[in-house]
Amino acid sequence: MNSLSLWKRTHMETDYSLKERNTFHFNIHAAAYSEISHPEMIREFIPQTPGEFAPILILGEGSNLLFRDDYQGHIIRSTDTSIEVISERGDDVLIRVASGVKWDDFVKFAVDNGYGGIENLSWIPGTIGACPVQNIGAYGVEVKDKIEYVEGLYLDTGEVFHLEKASCLFGYRDSIFKHELRGRVFISHVTFRLSSNPSYHLDYGVLKTRVESKGAINLSTIRESVIEIRKEKLPDPEDIGNAGSFFKNPVIPETHLSLIQQDYPEIPFYELEDGYKIPTAWLIDTAGWKGYRQADAGVHANQALVLVNYGNAEPSEILDLAENICRDIKHKFGIELEMEVTIV
């Protein structure tokens, strides 16, 4: 028996509970669910007849998704957790990481080994396979700046792909995997370029102060500081269901900012090349939604950008709340919010 025929026996569960597989902890089910421990196993799910296995959804930790309802297709999750240093030249290191690795396990691996570049991205939930999809970012660093290339297979043909970072079309919480390749590929590996002689990104005031208070500036104290700050502000999905930032931060033109400033001179903003980025958390907070709760759906009391499920909220209750917030922000500030979370 060759190894491929062994993979043929991938176990499939039906009517599978997703309660522990989505960080909102919605009590929903998938029609079918399988785990794969090697990228080649994805070939087993190439449809032999039109519609077979459709629709397939590749799931990481379910930390940036909102399932509207039970999922009527086949969910596949990678359990491949290999991390391989593929080259080390001078300060420069290339590391190829399998998609099933938890993002923060990789950050810890990097920091423990003295490889810098992603320490500001500590404690972000999710997996390696998900990190390029929405180009995760925090405290002045985006993962796109450390990604070298992304590998995987097309779900319809099993053909292998290798996308250099320029071809991934990364943007703010955005990439080709949210558009042209959405639902069409299985990401098997992401390769990162890190440095054993890194420059630190401490332009984010809160982070700088915290790190300096630790007496030494190095990868470990930065990681520790980021974890402390995140734990203070963001609810742990283990305790309260949530998917991190629910909306993106909008970018508006100067004329629009000036209009808002007439009523709200204190509005925070960050100047970008194409306009002014406004923290949605400030908009939601100022509109009075922070800490709002109806039944088990609410807006977190410490970070207004995070919508939470206090226990038994239905997906529709969170979506209704999100719509009400959007309508109110449009009415009060003339800004259309865009969701950061992917709705399935």
Residues at the interface with ligand EPU (CB under 6 A) = 138-139, 233, 244-245, 248-249, 268, 279, 281-282, 285, 290, 303-305, 340
How far apart are alpha carbons 60 and 177 in whole angstroms? 14
- 3-state SS class at 269: coil
Q: Is 61 a catalytic residue?
A: no
Give the nearer residue to ligand EPU in terms of CB position, either 93 or 304: 304
Give the nearer residue to ligand EPU in terms of CB position, either 186 or 333: 333
Q: Is 245 a catalytic residue?
A: yes
- 3-state SS class at 128: coil
The count of other CB atoms within 10 Å of the CB of residue 298 is: 23
For the chain, how long is the longest CA-to-CA vector? 74
Rounded to a whole number of angstroms, the minimum distance from the CB of residue 304 to ligand EPU is 4
Three-state SS annotation for 274-290: CEEECCHHHHHHHCCCC
Rounded to a whole number of angstroms, the minimum distance from the CB of residue 280 to ligand EPU is 7
Give the nearer residue to ligand EPU in terms of CB position, either 67 or 282: 282
Rounded to a whole number of angstroms, the minimum distance from the CB of residue 276 to ligand EPU is 13
Q: Say which of 119, 151, 317, 340 is annotated catalytic.
A: 340
Rounded to a whole number of angstroms, the minimum distance from the CB of residue 283 to ligand EPU is 8
How far apart are alpha carbons 146 and 159 in whole angstroms? 26
Whether the Cβ atoms of residue 115 and residue 93 lie closer than 8 Å to each other? yes
**Is residue 237 reached through a cis peptide bond, with omega within 30 degrees of 0 on the bond before it?**
no
Residue with the CB atom nearest ligand EPU in the bound state? 244
Q: Say which of 21, 173, 210, 230 is annotated catalytic.
A: 173
Give the nearer residue to ligand EPU in terms of CB position, either 22 or 303: 303
Q: Is 89 a catalytic residue?
A: no
Closest CA to 311 of 238, 237, 240: 240
List residues with catalytic annotation: 173, 245, 340
